[in-house]
Structure 1
Amino acid sequence: MSRLPFYFIVTGMIGFVLYQAASLLSLTGWVGDELRGPSGWFHIHLFVLGWATMLAMGAVYQLIPVIAQTNVYSERLGYFHYIVFTIGLIGLLYGFIASQIHWIALCASAAFIGILAFGWNMAMTLRRASRWNAITISAACSIAYLVLTGLSGMLMGINFATGWWIDGHDNLFGAHIWMGTIGWFGLLITGFSYKMLPMFYLAHNYSTKPQTVILLLWNTAVVLGVTAFLTDGSPWLIWFALLLLTAAVVVYNVHLLLIRRSRHKRHPGSGIQWSVYCSMAFGILLAVWLTVSVYSPDRLLDADVIRIAGWLYLNGWVSFNILSYASKIIPFLWWTHRYGKQAGKPGTPLMADMLSDKHVRLGLSVIAAGILLVTVGMVFGSQWMIELAGTALSLGSLVYISLAALVFTR
């Protein structure tokens, strides 16, 4: 097994620890501040790029060969991607915290070069895929959106340094966020779940038709949202994109239930169960938000609304799903790497022994409660609740990721 995925996964876990440590130092106070400033940019990019994207890219390097039934096009290019992207990210975070505009522009460009290398590597790998289906198409689309997100981020960095296209900065900013959150993370999580959930549930003979519907609805929502931001379109266009996204999530949840109904394994693990609960809650919240916003679609772009929606989406769905799947992926990768050739021999530990399911269940319960309580504090403008719940969330997250990291010592 290649060591490349481990570099990304371990670096992502380090990024997660640093993010939680930074949140503890500020008592999660940055959540209530203006996000479009040095502190907000630093925390968000540390979370999105240093944690979620870094670990997601490691998962892609591991799972794409399984999905496409072919080897990664170039492992050497993968290491180049890792080095350049990591250096660019570190420099970018320094630029934010030190308010060094030219440093931001330079390092955003370096990070984008790493993303381009990743995109090319995956494009050439998927080109050799044995067959194309909703899984491979979702992966291809998500990576394409990541490249476009990196491009828009680099352009914003150059914009800061030079003052070029200043009038279009906010448009680019909106498209950057929409493509990165809804496009890259959304299609990657849903696409990979089509492969992983049936595997963990041992599910067979379920319909895959909903996957095509989800793919079409989700991509249309991404394109409409980006179009609305780039063209200063009507808030109703953003609302309609949100409607399509909600429909996609509803169909996605129906598909999850179909997989669960066809299962041959009663308990797939607490992480997988929590990921399903998380997606159901995500669908309910989207439906409520869509219904409330129909009376005033202009409020969709209010700073407070964006802050709460971003928190719930990135922490409550994206990161929580990653943490849930990590409880299965990390033990599987390490057991295969460390003990794969010793399977069945006396003294060889079982994969289930690598990470306690009881600890996973407890850890994810604490994290879920922390996310919800921080959200309540944000809704009611209670700084003390944000600080208290945010501290508990960070501490619980640090314990959880430490338990996952201990897998590498077994």
Structure 2
Amino acid sequence: MGFGLWGLLLLALHPEALHAARHPVLLAASHLLFLGFGVGVLVGAMHPLVPVVLEAPLPHPSWGYPTLALWGVGLPLQVWGFLKAEPRWVALGGGLVLLGLLLFASHMALAFRRASRWSPVATALAWVSFYLGLTPLLGMLQALTLRMGFYDPERLLWHVLAGLVGVFVLAVVGVGHKLVSMFTLSHGVDESVLGLLLWVLNLGLLGLALKQPMGLGLLAVGVGLACYDTFRILRHRVKRALDVGVRHYLAGLAFLVLALLALLAGQTLWAGLWFGLGFLALIVSGMLYKIVPFLVWTYRYAPRVGLGTVPALKAMLPEQAAGWAGILLGLGALLAPFWSPAFWLCLAGGLLCAYALEEVLRS
């Protein structure tokens, strides 16, 4: 959350950075938002989620700590290198992050080998683990080519696509299928659409990387399938009222559609802002509103059940603050391509989100 707020603050203070693709502030902010906030939450969430999906414990849970240390130390060094235009710090920080994510991917590979049950959700998480290792590796190779004299800016596209589509879109459709079904008490929804969706998105990613026209078309089909899969889940739900986390998820999907439409229209900047500030920020914060109270309650109060009064899970989250956080994030993301002060709205939403989560931790 701290990395996410840092990235939003940089964009609010320096909106002019958006007009240069390789502006130091834009590079720093994008890595803070995607590699910091997005990947940080994703890696943390996969530690308790993967054992549930695979119905098998993680082989080495303690490996999460060196992953956290390498990523948590490496990313600020990398960001500092971007801001100061110091390639050595970028390389050092990026190298530490790469080691941390390769360790995580290796740990997940061992976990998948022990799986007692396999499903499309497990396949999605396996692909996400693969892209979590591949994305920083591609970024590091790109940095090395710059030092060695055979730099090709076109190869940066591979790094971007592996991160945005391979990590985040696949993670959202895979993890989202599981979590939204759990949060809405939806039963009887098969995973066939999710299995097809994984094929479509991976082929679309490959097509985009090779600059084939079919790539964007397949990506559009994949987004449509993701929306359809979510509709099927909601249609089967037992819990009719949608809580704040699920509402955030649906708003994030709407921003994914907006980002795709902007990309089809050739508005790359609009697409990037709606993807990062709308789709990613809303969905990740929405999932945090569900995951963090559950983890805190399980750790702190589950052993006391039957021995005394324990708070209800729903009561741990200040929903009004979480709701306003989503409104500010969504409004700021929507206006960001046209009105630079909108980044301050996003930052205000991020601060409210941090406050809501802090209240959960203090409960």
The 8 Å contact of residues 84 and 110 in structure 1, kept in 2 or not, is answered as yes
Asked whether 1:386 is paired with 2:340, we answer yes
Aligned CA-pair RMSD: 1.8
Fraction of identical pairs, as percent:
25
Q: Which amino acid aligns with 2:190?
A: S
**Equivalent residue, structure 2, for 1:406:** 359
Question: Is the contact between residue 259 and residue 275 of structure 2 (CA under 8 Å) also seen in structure 1?
Answer: no
**1:148, distance to aligned residue in structure 2 (A):** 1.2
Partner of residue 134 from structure 2, selected from 148, 152, 172: 148
Match of 1:200 among 147, 162, 183: 183
In the alignment, what sits opposite 1:83?
Answer: 69
The within-5 A match list for 1:247-262 is: 247-262=221-236
1:164 aligns with 2:149: yes
Identify the residue that residue 176 of structure 1 maps to in structure 2: 159
TM-score (norm 2): 0.94
Counterpart mapping for 1:82-121 below 5 A: 82-121=68-107
The 1:289/1:125 distance shift into structure 2, 3 A limit, reads same
- Does the 8 A contact of 1:68 with 1:130 survive in 2? yes
Deviation at 1:31, TM superposition (A): 4.8
Structure 1 residues 314-336: Cα deviation after superposition (integer angstroms, max 9, x where no partner): 22112211011111111111111
Q: Residue 56 of structure 2 aligns to a residue in which SS?
A: coil
2:120 to 134, 156, 164: 134
My pick for the range that moved more, 119-128 or 29-38, is 29-38
The aligned runs of 1:7-406 (5 Å cut-off) are: 13-24=1-12, 26=13, 28-160=14-146, 162-166=147-151, 169-228=152-211, 237=212, 239-283=213-257, 286-287=260-261, 289-290=263-264, 292=265, 300=266, 305-375=267-337, 377=338, 385-387=339-341, 389-406=342-359
Unaligned regions of 5+ residues in structure 2, if any? none
Give the aligned residue type for 1:164: G
Write the letter of the residue equivalent to 2:6: L
Cα distance 1:328–1:102, how it changes in 2: closer, same or farther (>3 A)? same
Residue 121 of structure 1 deviates from its aligned partner by 0.5
CA contact 2:318–2:359 (8 Å) conserved in 1 = no
CA distance in 2, matches of 1:224, 1:208: 25
How many residues are aligned here?
363
Provide the rounded CA distance (Å) in 1 between the counterparts of 2:4 and 2:70.
Answer: 19
**Which has the higher relative contact order, 1 or 2, with Cα contacts under 8 A spaced 6 or more apart?**
1
Asked if the contact 1:339–1:348 (Cα under 8 Å) also holds between the matched residues in 2, the reply is yes
| 1:158-203 deviation digits (Å, cap 9, x = unpaired) | 233x23322xx21220110011001111111111112111111101
Distance 1:289 1:319 in 2: 19
Segments of 5+ residues of structure 1 without an aligned counterpart are: 1-12, 229-236, 293-299, 378-384
In structure 2, what is the Cα distance between the partners aligned to 1:148 and 1:396? 31
What is the CA-CA distance between 1:241 and the residue it aligns to? 1.1
| Cα deviation, residue 30, structure 1 | 4.2
Q: Which amino acid aligns with 1:16?
A: G
1:35 is paired with a residue whose SS is coil
Quickly say closer, same or farther: Cα 1:287–1:344, change in 2 above 3 A: farther
Q: Give distance in 2, aligned partners of 1:164 and 1:119.
A: 30
Question: In structure 1, how many angstroms separate the alpha carbons of the residues matched to 2:345 and 2:315?
Answer: 27
Which amino acid is the alignment partner of residue 46 of structure 2? V
